[in-house]
Protein backbone atom coordinates (compact mmCIF):
# COMPACT_ATOMS: atom_id res chain seq x y z
CA UNK A 1 0.00 0.00 0.00
CA UNK A 2 3.05 2.27 0.02
CA UNK A 3 2.99 5.23 -2.32
CA UNK A 4 6.59 4.96 -3.56
CA UNK A 5 7.09 3.46 -7.00
CA UNK A 6 8.52 0.00 -6.99
CA UNK A 7 10.33 -1.44 -9.99
CA UNK A 8 7.83 -3.32 -12.10
CA UNK A 9 8.72 -6.99 -12.33
CA UNK A 10 7.50 -10.13 -13.98
CA UNK A 11 5.74 -11.39 -10.88
CA UNK A 12 3.68 -8.20 -10.54
CA UNK A 13 2.66 -8.44 -14.17
CA UNK A 14 1.57 -12.06 -13.72
CA UNK A 15 -0.23 -11.19 -10.52
CA UNK A 16 -2.06 -8.22 -11.98
CA UNK A 17 -2.90 -10.13 -15.13
CA UNK A 18 -4.35 -13.07 -13.22
CA UNK A 19 -6.30 -10.74 -10.97
CA UNK A 20 -7.74 -8.90 -13.94
CA UNK A 21 -8.58 -12.19 -15.62
CA UNK A 22 -10.39 -13.34 -12.46
CA UNK A 23 -12.41 -10.13 -12.30
CA UNK A 24 -13.28 -10.35 -15.98
CA UNK A 25 -14.21 -13.99 -15.59
CA UNK A 26 -16.47 -13.29 -12.62
CA UNK A 27 -18.07 -10.36 -14.40
CA UNK A 28 -18.60 -12.41 -17.54
CA UNK A 29 -20.05 -15.32 -15.58
CA UNK A 30 -22.43 -13.07 -13.69
CA UNK A 31 -23.48 -11.30 -16.87
CA UNK A 32 -24.04 -14.56 -18.73
CA UNK A 33 -26.04 -16.05 -15.86
CA UNK A 34 -28.18 -12.96 -15.44
CA UNK A 35 -28.78 -12.75 -19.19
CA UNK A 36 -29.58 -16.47 -19.39
CA UNK A 37 -31.76 -16.46 -16.31
CA UNK A 38 -33.84 -13.62 -17.68
CA UNK A 39 -36.10 -12.53 -14.87
CA UNK A 40 -34.17 -14.69 -12.37
CA UNK A 41 -36.92 -14.31 -9.84
CA UNK A 42 -36.40 -16.01 -6.52
CA UNK A 43 -38.12 -19.35 -6.24
CA UNK A 44 -39.80 -21.36 -3.51
CA UNK A 45 -40.48 -25.08 -3.18
CA UNK A 46 -43.88 -26.53 -3.93
CA UNK A 47 -45.52 -29.91 -4.44
CA UNK A 48 -47.20 -30.74 -7.71
CA UNK A 49 -50.40 -32.34 -6.37
CA UNK A 50 -50.89 -34.33 -9.57
CA UNK A 51 -47.51 -36.03 -9.12
CA UNK A 52 -47.66 -36.51 -5.34
CA UNK A 53 -48.19 -40.10 -4.21
CA UNK A 54 -48.75 -39.22 -0.53
CA UNK A 55 -45.92 -41.51 0.58
CA UNK A 56 -45.58 -39.84 3.98
CA UNK A 57 -42.02 -38.54 3.56
CA UNK A 58 -43.21 -34.94 3.93
CA UNK A 59 -44.05 -35.56 7.57
CA UNK A 60 -40.58 -36.83 8.44
CA UNK A 61 -37.98 -35.33 6.09
CA UNK A 62 -38.60 -31.61 6.64
CA UNK A 63 -35.81 -29.88 8.57
CA UNK A 64 -38.44 -28.30 10.77
CA UNK A 65 -39.60 -30.17 13.83
CA UNK A 66 -43.14 -29.82 12.53
CA UNK A 67 -43.20 -30.21 8.77
CA UNK A 68 -43.98 -27.16 6.62
CA UNK A 69 -46.07 -29.43 4.41
CA UNK A 70 -49.75 -29.52 5.31
CA UNK A 71 -52.86 -30.97 3.79
CA UNK A 72 -55.09 -28.44 2.06
CA UNK A 73 -58.61 -28.85 0.77
CA UNK A 74 -59.93 -27.72 -2.60
CA UNK A 75 -63.55 -27.39 -1.50
CA UNK A 76 -64.81 -26.88 -5.05
CA UNK A 77 -63.61 -30.40 -5.91
CA UNK A 78 -64.98 -32.11 -2.83
CA UNK A 79 -68.01 -34.38 -3.06
CA UNK A 80 -68.98 -33.60 0.56
CA UNK A 81 -69.53 -37.33 1.05
CA UNK A 82 -70.97 -38.78 4.22
CA UNK A 83 -68.57 -41.72 3.90
CA UNK A 84 -65.38 -39.73 3.23
CA UNK A 85 -62.48 -42.08 2.54
CA UNK A 86 -60.07 -39.30 3.45
CA UNK A 87 -61.68 -38.88 6.84
CA UNK A 88 -62.68 -42.39 7.87
CA UNK A 89 -60.63 -45.48 8.45
CA UNK A 90 -61.38 -48.27 6.00
CA UNK A 91 -64.42 -50.04 7.39
CA UNK A 92 -65.15 -47.62 10.23
CA UNK A 93 -67.21 -48.85 13.16
CA UNK A 94 -69.50 -45.81 12.97
CA UNK A 95 -69.78 -42.90 10.56
CA UNK A 96 -69.19 -40.36 13.31
CA UNK A 97 -66.39 -38.19 14.64
CA UNK A 98 -65.08 -40.82 17.07
CA UNK A 99 -61.29 -40.89 17.06
CA UNK A 100 -61.25 -44.65 16.43
CA UNK A 101 -63.03 -44.07 13.12
CA UNK A 102 -60.68 -41.38 11.85
CA UNK A 103 -57.85 -41.90 9.42
CA UNK A 104 -55.99 -38.76 10.53
CA UNK A 105 -53.49 -39.66 13.30
CA UNK A 106 -53.80 -36.21 14.88
CA UNK A 107 -57.51 -35.58 14.36
CA UNK A 108 -56.73 -32.54 12.22
CA UNK A 109 -59.78 -32.88 9.98
CA UNK A 110 -63.03 -31.36 11.19
CA UNK A 111 -66.27 -32.83 9.93
CA UNK A 112 -69.20 -30.44 9.85
CA UNK A 113 -72.76 -31.27 8.87
CA UNK A 114 -74.00 -28.99 6.09
CA UNK A 115 -77.25 -30.52 4.78
CA UNK A 116 -78.44 -34.04 4.18
CA UNK A 117 -76.38 -35.96 3.10
CA UNK A 118 -73.46 -33.58 2.84
CA UNK A 119 -70.60 -32.99 5.25
CA UNK A 120 -67.79 -30.49 4.99
CA UNK A 121 -64.22 -31.41 5.88
CA UNK A 122 -61.80 -28.68 6.93
CA UNK A 123 -58.13 -29.03 7.90
CA UNK A 124 -56.85 -27.65 11.16
CA UNK A 125 -53.30 -26.77 10.07
CA UNK A 126 -52.09 -26.42 13.63
CA UNK A 127 -52.71 -30.14 14.09
CA UNK A 128 -51.86 -31.44 10.59
CA UNK A 129 -48.44 -33.09 10.34
CA UNK A 130 -48.45 -33.52 6.55
CA UNK A 131 -48.40 -37.33 6.63
CA UNK A 132 -50.75 -37.54 3.66
CA UNK A 133 -52.84 -40.44 4.96
CA UNK A 134 -56.06 -38.54 4.17
CA UNK A 135 -54.68 -37.56 0.76
CA UNK A 136 -54.11 -41.20 -0.06
CA UNK A 137 -57.59 -42.11 1.11
CA UNK A 138 -59.21 -39.28 -0.81
CA UNK A 139 -57.26 -40.07 -3.98
CA UNK A 140 -58.05 -43.80 -3.80
CA UNK A 141 -61.84 -43.61 -3.61
CA UNK A 142 -62.81 -39.95 -3.68
CA UNK A 143 -62.38 -36.89 -5.83
CA UNK A 144 -58.81 -36.15 -4.73
CA UNK A 145 -59.78 -32.80 -3.25
CA UNK A 146 -57.39 -33.26 -0.33
CA UNK A 147 -53.74 -32.73 -1.29
CA UNK A 148 -50.43 -31.72 0.21
CA UNK A 149 -48.86 -28.26 -0.17
CA UNK A 150 -45.81 -26.53 1.24
CA UNK A 151 -47.14 -23.82 3.55
CA UNK A 152 -44.98 -20.78 2.97
CA UNK A 153 -45.69 -19.18 6.32
CA UNK A 154 -43.75 -22.11 7.79
CA UNK A 155 -41.26 -23.11 5.06
CA UNK A 156 -37.66 -22.00 5.59
CA UNK A 157 -36.93 -22.01 1.82
CA UNK A 158 -33.86 -24.22 2.06
CA UNK A 159 -31.58 -24.04 -0.94
CA UNK A 160 -32.36 -27.69 -1.57
CA UNK A 161 -35.49 -28.88 0.17
CA UNK A 162 -34.65 -32.02 2.09
CA UNK A 163 -38.12 -33.44 1.44
CA UNK A 164 -37.59 -32.85 -2.28
CA UNK A 165 -34.42 -34.93 -2.07
CA UNK A 166 -36.45 -37.76 -0.50
CA UNK A 167 -39.55 -37.45 -2.70
CA UNK A 168 -40.13 -40.73 -4.57
CA UNK A 169 -42.26 -39.24 -7.35
CA UNK A 170 -40.22 -36.06 -7.93
CA UNK A 171 -43.32 -34.02 -7.17
CA UNK A 172 -41.32 -31.19 -5.58
CA UNK A 173 -40.23 -28.38 -7.81
CA UNK A 174 -39.10 -24.79 -7.62
CA UNK A 175 -41.89 -22.37 -8.46
CA UNK A 176 -41.70 -18.57 -8.79
CA UNK A 177 -42.18 -16.83 -5.45
CA UNK A 178 -44.95 -14.72 -6.99
CA UNK A 179 -47.02 -17.87 -7.62
CA UNK A 180 -46.06 -20.05 -4.71
CA UNK A 181 -48.91 -22.59 -4.74
CA UNK A 182 -49.89 -25.37 -7.11
CA UNK A 183 -53.52 -25.82 -6.17
CA UNK A 184 -55.86 -28.39 -7.64
CA UNK A 185 -58.49 -26.69 -9.72
CA UNK A 186 -62.02 -27.81 -10.37
CA UNK A 187 -61.70 -27.46 -14.16
CA UNK A 188 -58.71 -29.78 -14.25
CA UNK A 189 -60.78 -32.50 -12.69
CA UNK A 190 -63.87 -32.01 -14.83
Q: Should residue 155 be labelled a site residue for other proteins when binding is judged by CB under 8 A?
A: yes
Q: Should residue 127 be labelled a site residue for other proteins when binding is judged by CB under 8 A?
A: no
Q: Which DSSP state fits 88?
A: B
Q: Which stretch binds other proteins (CB under 8 A): 53-61, 100-108, 128-136?
A: 53-61
Q: For the chain, count helices (H), then strands (E).
A: 5, 6
Q: Which is nearer to other proteins, 7 or 90 (CB)?
A: 90
Q: Which stretch binds other proteins (CB under 8 A): 101-109, 127-135, 147-155?
A: 147-155
Closest C-alpha to 150, from 183, 102, 122: 183
CA distances (Å), origin 53, targets 48, 131, 141, 173, 185: 10, 11, 14, 15, 18
Q: Should residue 13 be labelled a site residue for other proteins when binding is judged by CB under 8 A?
A: no
Q: Which is nearer to other proteins, 99 or 114 (CB)?
A: 114
Chain centroid to Cα 145, Å, comes to 17
For the bound state, the minimum distance from the C-beta of residue 6 to other proteins, rounded and expressed in Å, comes to: 14
Angle at 147 between CA 177 and CA 110, to 5 degrees: 115
Which residues 71-110 are close enough to bind other proteins by CB under 8 A?
72-81, 83, 85, 90-93, 95
Q: Which is nearer to other proteins, 31 or 105 (CB)?
A: 31
Q: Which is nearer to other proteins, 75 or 106 (CB)?
A: 75
Say if residue 70 is exposed, middle or buried (CB neighbours under 10 Å; 0-12, 13-18, 19+): buried
CA distances (Å), origin 109, targets 20, 102, 153: 62, 9, 20
Q: Which stretch binds other proteins (CB under 8 A): 55-63, 103-111, 127-135?
A: 55-63
Among 63, 98, 105, 107, interactor with other proteins by CB under 8 A:
63
Amino acid sequence: MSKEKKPFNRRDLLHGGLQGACLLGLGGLSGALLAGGGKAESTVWQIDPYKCVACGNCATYCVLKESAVKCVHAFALCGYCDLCTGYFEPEPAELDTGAENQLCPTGAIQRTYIEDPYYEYTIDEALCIGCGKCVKGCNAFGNGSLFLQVRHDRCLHCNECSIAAACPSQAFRRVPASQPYLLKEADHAG
